[in-house]
Amino acid sequence: MPDILVVDDEPSILEFLEVLLSKHGHRVRTAATLGLATDALAAAVPDLVITDFRLGKQSGIDVVKAARALPMPPEVIVVTAYGTPASAVEAMRQGAYDYVTKPFDNEELMLLVERALEKRGLRAENRRLRARGSGVFVGQSPAMQQVWSLVQKVAPTRATVLIAGESGTGKEVVARAIHFESPRASQPFVPVNCGALAEGVLESELFGHVKGAFTGATTDRQGILAAAGEGTVLLDEVGELPLGTQVKLLRVLQERKVKPVGSSREVPFEARILAATNRKLEDEVRSGRFREDLLFRLNVIVIDVPPLRRRREDIPQLAQFFLERVANELGRPGLHLTPEAMAVLQDYGFPGNVRQMQNVMERAATLSDTDALGVEALPPLVRGAAGDLEAGPEVALPQGFSLELHLDTLERRYLHEALRRAGGAKTKAAELLGLSFRSFRYRLAKHGMPPDDL
Ligand SMILES: Nc1ncnc2c1ncn2[C@@H]1O[C@H](COP(=O)(O)OP(=O)(O)OP(=O)(O)O)[C@@H](O)[C@H]1O
Ligand SMILES: [Mg+2]
C-alpha cells in the first residue's frame, strides 16, 4: 500500500486529504509543521509527500528539500496558492514532481497522485535494473573509456575517491559504477546530498545521534555511515559541506569511527566513502570555504568526468539510449531521430551535459505526434543560436572595423529591401522585418530615410 505523507498547517485540510487519500486506498500520515514533517520523513521514507507551500511562518520548500535529500527520495507534490507562479517554479526547481493550485479539484489531485506514484514505481524499477549493473554506463569515447578503466581499478579497493565534473556529467553514475563493480555490490549504495541539509541535520544524518541530543531526538538513531554497513556512501556536492562538518568528517575519515551527535563514544564503521563535486575544490580552498586538509584526504584518487562537449563522439549513443528508454516507457517503439536532428545534437554544446541530453530526448519524444523526431522536436535553445554562433560561417574582422558602423549599414540595407518588397507599403515592410510600425518608422527616421520619399 503506498505511503503518503501530507503536510499542511491547516487541520481541516489535513483531515480532508487524509479521508480523500485513504478512500483511494493509500496509507496516510499527516504533519502540521516542518519539524513534524522532518520527523515523519526520518521515521520512514514515504512514497509520496504532499505539502502546502506555506506552513504558517515556515516554508513547504524546506519539506521538498528534506524529502528530496533522502537516500530513496519520495516524489513531492506542492500545493500553492492561486496566482503565485513563482512558488510553483521554486518547488519544481527543488525537485518537486508537480504542483496543484488551491483551490484544487479532487480529481485533478488524485490524477496527479497516481501519476507521481507510478513514476516512483518506475524509478524503483530503474533502480533494480541499475542494481544489476546492466548497461548503464553509456559512452565509448576515449575520455569515457579512461574513466571506465579508472573505475575498474579503484572498485576493488577501499580508497576514498573524489569524482569531479560539471553538473549533469554523470558523477553519480560513476559513483554507482564503482559501487556495483566492487565486492560491496550486494550492500547498500547511499548518496547523501551535502548541500541540501542544514549543518545540524546533516551531522545527525551522517553520524547519527543519541536520545536527548537535541529537541526531537526521542530515541538513539544510527547515522548513514553506520547504517550503510559494508556498502558505499556517496557524499554528493561535498563542496557544500559547512566548515564545521568538514572538520568532523576529516576525523571520521582518518579514524574510520563516528561519534553520534550528543555521544562521547566513537563507533567504528565499515562503509566506503566516495565524494562528488561540481565545484573546483582548489578554488574553494583558496577562498576559505573548503579545508585544505580535507581536500588532501579526498583527492588522493580523482576521477574527472569530462563535459559532454569534450566527448561529442558519445552524443549519438547517449541520444539513442535515452530515446529507447522513453520509447519503452511510452510504448512507442518506432520513435527515432532524423539524421538532421542528430546532426544538430552533435553540434550543440550541452551546457547541462548528459542530464540535459536526457531531458531533450524525453521532451522531444513526449511532445512529438510522429515517430520521426526532426529538428523541430528539439528545444529552440538546442537548434538555435548556440549552434549558429559556433557553427556558422566565420566573420571577417578587418583592420579599423567598427561594429556600430557595420550594424548601421546592415540595418539600412534591410530597411531598404523590406520597403522594396512591400512596394513601399510601410505596415507590410515593418511586418517583413518583425518590427512594430512605430519602431520601423523610428529606424527610418534615424537613417534619414524620409518615408514619404520612398
Ligand atoms: N554515461 C552515462 N550513461 C548513461 N546515463 C548517464 C551517463 N551519464 C549520465 N547519465 C544520466 O544523466 C543524468 C545525470 O547524471 P548524474 O546525476 O550522474 O550527474 P551528476 O554529474 O551527478 O550531476 P550533478 O552535478 O547535477 O549532481 C542521470 O539521469 C544519469 O542517469
Ligand atoms: Mg549528482
Q: Closest ligand 1 atom to the C-alpha of 168?
A: 23
Higher-confidence residue of 361 and 404: namely 361
Domain boundary, last residue among 285, 306, 327: 306
User: Distance between CA atoms of 224 and 209, rounded to whole angstroms?
Assistant: 11
265/333 same-domain check: no
Cα-to-centroid distance, 154 and ligand 2 (Å): 19
Nearest CA to ligand 1 atom 28: 355
Higher-confidence residue of 151 and 450: namely 151
With a 6 Å cutoff on the Cβ, whether 51 touches ligand 1 is: no
Cα-to-centroid distance, 251 and ligand 2 (Å): 25
Give the CATH number, domain containing residue 375. Answer: 1.10.8.60
Give the CATH number, domain containing residue 103. Answer: 3.40.50.2300
Nearest CA to ligand 1 atom 8: 170
Give the CATH number, domain containing residue 442. Answer: 1.10.10
Query: pLDDT, tens digit, for every residue of 171-187?
Result: 999 999 999 888 888 88
Is-cis flag, bond preceding 103, omega within 30? yes
Cα-to-centroid distance, 194 and ligand 2 (Å): 11
Cα-to-centroid distance, 37 and ligand 2 (Å): 25
With a 6 Å cutoff on the Cβ, whether 304 touches ligand 1 is: no
CB contact at 8 A, 19 and 1: no
What does the pLDDT read at residue 134?
A: 39
What does the pLDDT read at residue 100?
A: 86
Considering the domain boundaries, does residue 133 fall inside one? no
Cα-to-centroid distance, 171 and ligand 2 (Å): 6
Considering the domain boundaries, does residue 135 fall inside one? no
Phi, psi (rounded to 5 degrees) for 222 = -75, 145
Q: Is the pLDDT of residue 133 over 60?
A: no
Please calculate the CA angle 418-422-425 and round it to the nearest 5 degrees.
110
Domain boundary, last residue among 347, 365, 391: 391
Phi, psi (rounded to 5 degrees) for 404 = -60, -45
318/272 same-domain check: no
With a 6 Å cutoff on the Cβ, whether 165 touches ligand 1 is: yes
Ligand that comes closest to the CA of residue 175 = 1
With a 6 Å cutoff on the Cβ, whether 168 touches ligand 1 is: yes
60/112 same-domain check: yes
Query: pLDDT, tens digit, for every residue of 311-346?
Result: 999 999 999 999 999 998 889 999 999 999 999 999
173/51 same-domain check: no
367/438 same-domain check: no
Of 72-76, 272-276, 381-385, 388-392, the range with the highest mean pLDDT is 272-276
Give Cβ neighbours of residue 443 (< 8 Å, ≥ 6 apart). 411, 415, 435
Considering the domain boundaries, does residue 407 fall inside one? yes
With a 6 Å cutoff on the Cβ, whether 191 touches ligand 1 is: no
Nearest CA to ligand 1 atom 13: 355
User: Distance between CA atoms of 233 and 218, rounded to whole angstroms?
Assistant: 26
Cα-to-centroid distance, 168 and ligand 1 (Å): 5
Mean pLDDT along residues 89-100: 83
Considering the domain boundaries, does residue 353 fall inside one? yes
Cα-to-centroid distance, 171 and ligand 1 (Å): 6
247/190 same-domain check: yes
With a 6 Å cutoff on the Cβ, whether 353 touches ligand 1 is: no
Domain boundary, last residue among 306, 338, 366: 306
Going by pLDDT thresholds of 50, 70 and 90, the confidence category of residue 135 is very low
118/151 same-domain check: no
User: Distance between CA atoms of 75 and 437, rounded to whole angstroms?
Assistant: 50
232/322 same-domain check: no
114/15 same-domain check: yes
Ligand that comes closest to the CA of residue 144 = 1
- For a ligand 1 pocket test, name from 162, 313, 354 the mutation site with the most ligand atoms within 8 angstroms of its C-beta: 354
Please calculate the CA angle 21-27-33 and round it to the nearest 5 degrees.
80
Mean pLDDT along residues 107-126: 79
Higher-confidence residue of 257 and 71: namely 257
With a 6 Å cutoff on the Cβ, whether 138 touches ligand 1 is: yes
Considering the domain boundaries, does residue 141 fall inside one? no
User: Distance between CA atoms of 360 and 380, rounded to whole angstroms?
Assistant: 11
- Residue 411: domain span: 403-453
With a 6 Å cutoff on the Cβ, whether 232 touches ligand 1 is: no
With a 6 Å cutoff on the Cβ, whether 169 touches ligand 1 is: yes
290/313 same-domain check: no
User: Distance between CA atoms of 272 and 54, rounded to whole angstroms?
Assistant: 39
pLDDT > 70 fraction of the chain, expressed in percent and rounded: 93
Cα-to-centroid distance, 355 and ligand 1 (Å): 6
Ligand that comes closest to the CA of residue 171 = 1
What does the pLDDT read at residue 14?
A: 94
351/429 same-domain check: no
Q: Closest ligand 1 atom to the C-alpha of 276?
A: 22
Rg of the chain over Cα atoms, rounded to whole angstroms, equals 27
Q: Closest ligand 1 atom to the C-alpha of 176?
A: 18
- Give burial (CB, 10 Å; 0-12/13-18/19+) of 149: exposed
Q: Is the pLDDT of residue 130 over 60?
A: no
**SS3 letters for the chain?**
CCEEEEECCCHHHHHHHHHHHHHCCCEEEEECCHHHHHHHHHHCCCCEEEEECEECCEEHHHHHHHHHCCCCCCEEEEEEECCCHHHHHHHHHCCCCEEEEECCCHHHHHHHHHHHHHHHHHHHHHHHHHHCCCCCCCCCCHHHHHHHHHHHHHCCCCCCEEEECCCCCCHHHHHHHHHHCCCCCCCCEEEEECCCCCHHHHHHHHHEECCCCCCCCCCCEECHHHHCCCCEEEEECHHHCCHHHHHHHHHHHHHCEECCECCCCCEECCCEEEEEECCCHHHHHHCCCCCHHHHHHHCCEEEECCCHHHCHHHHHHHHHHHHHHHHHHHCCCCCEECHHHHHHHHHCCCCCHHHHHHHHHHHHHHHCCCCEECHHHCCHHHHCHHHHHHHCCCCCCCCCCCHHHHHHHHHHHHHHHHHHHCCCCHHHHHHHCCCCHHHHHHHHHHCCCCHHHC
Mean pLDDT along residues 389-418: 76
Query: pLDDT, tens digit, for every residue of 285-298?
Result: 999 999 999 999 99
Considering the domain boundaries, does residue 138 fall inside one? no
319/426 same-domain check: no
The neighbour count for residue 265, using CB atoms within 10 Å, is 9
Average pLDDT for the chain = 87
CB contact at 8 A, 98 and 112: yes
Mean pLDDT along residues 378-384: 86
Please calculate the CA angle 421-422-427 and round it to the nearest 5 degrees.
145
- For a ligand 1 pocket test, name from 171, 172, 324 the mutation site with the most ligand atoms within 8 angstroms of its C-beta: 172
Q: Closest ligand 1 atom to the C-alpha of 144?
A: 1
Q: Could you give the number of structural domains in the chain?
A: 4
Q: For residue 72, which of 120, 34, 39, 21 has the smallest C-alpha distance? A: 120
Ligand that comes closest to the CA of residue 174 = 1
Considering the domain boundaries, does residue 26 fall inside one? yes
Phi, psi (rounded to 5 degrees) for 349 = -85, -15
Phi, psi (rounded to 5 degrees) for 185 = -50, -30
Query: pLDDT, tens digit, for every residue of 231-248?
Result: 999 999 999 999 999 999
What does the pLDDT read at residue 386?
A: 41
Nearest CA to ligand 1 atom 29: 355
Considering the domain boundaries, does residue 410 fall inside one? yes
Residue 390 pairs with which residues in a beta bridge?
Answer: none
With a 6 Å cutoff on the Cβ, whether 143 touches ligand 1 is: no
User: Distance between CA atoms of 113 and 119, rounded to whole angstroms?
Assistant: 10
Give the CATH number, domain containing residue 261. Answer: 3.40.50.300
Q: Which three cell numbers stand for residue 353?
A: 551535459
The alpha carbon torsion through 224, 227, 229, 232 (nearest 10 deg) reads -30
With a 6 Å cutoff on the Cβ, whether 170 touches ligand 1 is: yes
User: Distance between CA atoms of 240 and 14, rounded to whole angstroms?
Assistant: 35
